[in-house]
């Protein structure tokens, strides 16, 4: 198809912010002009000026904004299948740790990997997401915990975008875990903050993340990382209230974070703070499922307060080895009782906000022509199927 053309014979789920639902237009037409959307509406009202453009009939298919996976750790070395198996054979946490398991085993494997190793293991993960209609992937560092490896992870993340038709946004997650043999404050001062400065100087950082948790960093330590982000002019986001309530969500809101992620233990008060700050709550059902968490995030409080909700894979080798954003949508519905319309908003419009990209996630005039064309008629089918991928085609900036 020429770059400027009219798509017809389709149902459009525009995900327009003016609607609570899908912003559905039956018998729609979408006009693409180069890499942008020029017009969308009922085909019957297509303006005269577009009538001579080449047409593509989509034969009744559904078109949505391309999906956005707004929280992943897809650049990492090794995997943790061995420890998964040990645990299911009854090994204790200690035994797993003694056998080199846990997050530190991923740090060891990521430090040992070359840039090329990390790139070639991450590319199939990117491909799996693209095959589900994903156009934007957020990728975090955080398995280096030393300056050199944090930079290496982010360089690899940037390279993904050169090797595949996808947009990558990076988050510096130096404050992910405390390396063995060091205390958290020393780590923040001597490694995390200098690594952030160096990564920023190389143009590798789009946002700054942290893991605010009893087993990681407290709010005062994260605040120091966020202060540095602020001086560098970088937006922040936070893994908050995943395993316990220690104030990460309120801290994220206080810093005007793009997103607060996990948020299982967030309260109604936290929800009000997120709403006031315009911070997106990102739910990660893959991690909830993998670690047998029982407390679901407070979706009703988010709805009551008007907090925008997003859904992501959290694809990582430990708590969420999940390579499907469509499965994350299904799990958000079944495990958290999210509605299918909320799940789709959570991987389009609200995910775009969570990664700070105002030019995608909605089908509207002037937005990028990042679109997913599906072999379904009803948008609820995207969340309803388990392990079913109905993608017909994906456009990135108007290109297949
Ligand atoms: N929360 C998580 O669920 C992952 N990181 C985080 O901050 C766990 C990462 C891992 O186990 O490798
Ligand atoms: Fe995560």
**Residue 178 carries which DSSP code?**
P
Give residue 76's pLDDT. 98
Does residue 318's CB lie within 6 angstroms of at least one atom of ligand 1? yes
pLDDT tens across 20-67, in order? 799 999 999 999 999 999 999 999 999 999 999 999 999 999 999 999
Sign, Cα dihedral of 134, 135, 140, 141: positive
Q: How far apart are CA 400 and CA 394, in angstroms?
A: 6
Does residue 239's CB lie within 6 angstroms of at least one atom of ligand 1? yes
Q: How far is the CA of 319 from the centre of ligand 2 (A)?
A: 8
List, in order, residues 6 or more apart from 223 with CB less than 8 Å away. 251, 255
- Rounded to whole angstroms, the maximal C-alpha distance in the chain is 71
User: What is the residue with the minimal CA distance to atom 11 of ligand 1?
Assistant: 318
Angle of the 193-201 helix axis to the 147-163 helix axis, nearest 10: 30
Residues of the chain with pLDDT under 50: none
Point out the ligand 1 atom lying closest to the alpha carbon of residue 143: 12
Does residue 287's CB lie within 6 angstroms of at least one atom of ligand 1? yes
Three-class DSSP category at 30: strand
Does residue 350's CB lie within 6 angstroms of at least one atom of ligand 1? no
- b/e string for 267-296 if b means 16 or more Cβ within 10 A? eeebbbbbbebebbbbbbbbbbbbeebeee
Does residue 316's CB lie within 6 angstroms of at least one atom of ligand 1? yes
Give residue 19's pLDDT. 79
Residues in the chain: 400
Residue with tokens 């948790």: 213
CB 385 within 8 A of CB 103: no
Q: How far is the CA of 71 from the centre of ligand 2 (A)?
A: 6
59: Cα within 13 Å, side-chain hemisphere: 4
**Residue 65 carries which DSSP code?**
E
Ligand nearest to the CA of 318: 1
Residue 382: both structure tokens together: 């995207």
Three-class DSSP category at 35: coil
Give residue 92's pLDDT. 81
Residue 380: both structure tokens together: 């609820």
Q: How far is the CA of 290 from the centre of ligand 2 (A)?
A: 13
Strand (E) or helix (H) holding 110: helix 103-112
Give residue 232's pLDDT. 98
Q: How far apart are CA 40 and CA 364, in angstroms?
A: 6
Ligand nearest to the CA of 320: 1
Say if strands 36-42 and 167-175 run parallel, antiparallel, or are unpaired: unpaired
Q: Using CA atoms in the order 119, 238, 369, 64, what is the torsion angle rounded to 10 degrees? A: 110
The pick from 82, 172, 316 for probing ligand 1's pocket by mutation, whose C-beta has the most ligand atoms within 8 angstroms, reads 316
Ligand nearest to the CA of 73: 2
Q: Of 36, 42, 65, nearest to 379 (Cα)?
A: 65
Q: How far is the CA of 387 from the centre of ligand 1 (A)?
A: 23
Does residue 64's CB lie within 6 angstroms of at least one atom of ligand 1? no
Give residue 95's pLDDT. 82
Does residue 242's CB lie within 6 angstroms of at least one atom of ligand 1? yes
Q: How far is the CA of 108 from the centre of ligand 1 (A)?
A: 15
Q: How far is the CA of 366 from the centre of ligand 1 (A)?
A: 37
Does residue 171's CB lie within 6 angstroms of at least one atom of ligand 1? no
Angle at alpha carbon of residue 284, lines to 281 and 290, rounded to 5°: 155
Q: How far apart are CA 339 and CA 318, in angstroms?
A: 27
Q: How far is the CA of 161 from the centre of ligand 2 (A)?
A: 20
Q: How far is the CA of 344 from the centre of ligand 2 (A)?
A: 20
Give residue 18's pLDDT. 86
The pLDDT > 90 percentage for the chain reads 94
Contacts 24+ apart (CB under 8 A), 336-340: 336/283, 336/285, 336/288, 336/296, 336/297, 336/299, 337/296, 337/299, 338/283, 338/299, 338/309, 338/311, 340/379, 340/380, 340/382, 340/383, 340/384
pLDDT tens across 281-321, in order? 999 999 999 999 999 999 999 999 999 999 999 999 999 99
Ligand nearest to the CA of 210: 1
CB 137 within 8 A of CB 72: yes
Point out the ligand 1 atom lying closest to the alpha carbon of residue 102: 11
Q: Which residues are bridge partners to 12 per DSSP?
A: 25, 63
Q: How far is the CA of 319 from the centre of ligand 1 (A)?
A: 6
Does residue 77's CB lie within 6 angstroms of at least one atom of ligand 1? no
Give residue 99's pLDDT. 77
**Mean pLDDT over all residues of the chain?**
96
Q: Which residues are bridge partners to 372 per DSSP?
A: 64, 394
CB 226 within 8 A of CB 243: no
């Amino acid at each position: 198809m020429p770059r400027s053309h009219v798509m017809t014979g389709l149902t459009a789920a525009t995900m327009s912010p003016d609607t609570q639902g899908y912003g559905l237009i039956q018998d729609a037409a979408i006009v693409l002009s180069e890499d942008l959307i020029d017009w969308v509406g009922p085909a019957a009202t297509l303006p005269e000026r577009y009538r001579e453009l080449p047409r593509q009939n989509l034969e009744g298919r559904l078109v949505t904004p391309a999906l956005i996976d707004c929280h992943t750790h897809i650049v990492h070395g090794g995997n943790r299948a061995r420890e998964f198996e040990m645990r299911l054979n009854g090994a204790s946490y200690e035994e797993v740790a003694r056998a080199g398991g846990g997050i530190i085993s991923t740090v060891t494997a990521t430090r040992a990997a070359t840039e090329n190793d990390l790139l070639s293991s991450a590319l199939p993960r990117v491909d799996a997401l693209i095959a589900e209609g994903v156009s934007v992937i957020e990728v975090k560092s955080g398995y280096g915990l030393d300056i050199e490896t944090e930079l290496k992870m982010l360089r690899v993340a940037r390279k993904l975008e050169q090797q595949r038709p996808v947009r990558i946004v990076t988050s510096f997650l130096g404050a992910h875990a405390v390396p063995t043999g060091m205390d958290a404050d020393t780590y923040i001062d001597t490694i995390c903050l200098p690594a952030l400065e160096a990564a920023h100087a190389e143009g590798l950082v789009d946002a700054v993340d942290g893991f605010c948790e009893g087993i990681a960093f407290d709010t005062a330590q994260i605040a120091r990382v966020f202060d540095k982000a602020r001086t560098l002019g970088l937006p922040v986001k936070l893994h908050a209230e995943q395993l316990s309530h220690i104030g990460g969500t309120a801290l994220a809101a206080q810093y005007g974070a793009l997103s607060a992620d996990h948020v299982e233990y967030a309260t109604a008060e936290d929800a009000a703070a997120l709403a006031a700050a315009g911070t997106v709550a990102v739910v990660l059902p893959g991690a909830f499922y993998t670690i047998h968490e029982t407390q679901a995030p407070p979706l009703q409080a988010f709805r009551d307060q008007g907090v925008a909700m997003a859904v992501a894979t959290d694809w990582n080798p430990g708590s969420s080895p999940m390579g499907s954003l469509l499965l994350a949508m299904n799990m958000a519905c079944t495990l958290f009782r999210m509605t299918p319309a909320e799940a789709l908003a959570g991987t389009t419009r609200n995910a775009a906000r969570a990664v700070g990209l105002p030019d995608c996630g909605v089908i509207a005039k002037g937005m990028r022509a990042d679109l997913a064309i599906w072999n379904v008629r009803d948008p609820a089918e995207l969340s309803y199927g388990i392990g079913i991928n109905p993608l017909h085609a994906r456009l990135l900036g108007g290109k297949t």
